[in-house]
Structure 1
């Protein structure tokens, strides 16, 4: 079962840096992320959400492949490809996996202007090594599905 962790940062750029660090840690097999997203609230208060899984694009690519294949079978590859791309993009856009978009948007509206937050669903992590690497970002735990004890450890590690 995955754990949801949301950490807020003092500026608009640190969440991106933290996500890059998590991706590096994932390459080293120290953390296994199911999903991640970043919320940035600019100085005017406008929210921008960056998803790590672009389902519409993935769906369009997959749909285009299958549409082209069926198009060759039925002697109209261009029509098959077009229908496949459109169907794949629509189905990808309507699919919601991982962290709920409404939850991201609602919590993003609560952070202060000129700040950012990272939302991660973590399947597995080597906690001591991951926390050591993430401590340099000085974040504040906003929400988790961790136990109170583990959440407290995470907050202590992020404020070192």
Structure 2
């Protein structure tokens, strides 16, 4: 019996205090730059654990749960046709939960070569422009308000888009 991906994932925007954002390039899709993403391994896997695991697997950065910031933001989007075969027949949408992780400038990145071929740190606006995923780009554009909510007066809120 085939093992299908669970259509619930995390997006983790990794950034420095200066708001330089880490982007990684997909190995199978050169030119597709993104933040850390990944699906839950099991239906009962807590999202924070999914985020911690994906950061470790994709970047080699070991992170504790209390260092991740859960934005309480979910995006629902159509799964790209190219990747639908990874999901059960008829599954067309994914729910993505957004997190961020602040790391010191100079943090070592060790890519998983089967998943990613390159990485770069870019100022947040440039990083948003480089992302192939609209929800990833939008999350990066929200970064200044999300990491300093006391300055912007913003509070965490849940949003769902399609």
**TM-score normalized by structure 1?**
0.29
Higher strand share: 2
CA radius of gyration, larger in:
1
**TM-score normalized by structure 2?**
0.29
Give the number of the structure with larger relative contact order, counting CA–CA contacts within 8 Å between residues 6 or more apart: 1
